[in-house]
Amino acid sequence: MTLTTLAVILLLVVVIFVVGAGTLGLLLHRPTWSAPLAGALAAMMLMTTVMGLIVAVTRS
């Protein structure tokens, strides 16, 4: 793997963890926001999956 690929993967993992921690904090602070946050998390996971597929296809 090239250094650029590893940097992109690391950046993606860090972003996912930061968003997850922020979401957990919001859910603990404002439980009434659970429905919009669930939608936002679903959209983020969809984008992550698409990005992973793009990386996998371009590397093959």
Closest residue by Cα to residue 46 from 57, 54, 36: 54
Output the pLDDT for position 22.
84
Residues 6+ apart with CB under 8 A from 23: 37, 40, 41
Output the pLDDT for position 55.
80
Closest residue by Cα to residue 25 from 14, 35, 34: 34
Q: What confidence tens digit (pLDDT) does each residue in 42-53 have?
A: 888 888 888 888
Residues in the chain, pLDDT under 70:
1, 60
Output the pLDDT for position 10.
84
Output the pLDDT for position 31.
86
Output the pLDDT for position 34.
83
What does the radius of gyration of the chain's CA atoms come to, in whole angstroms? 14
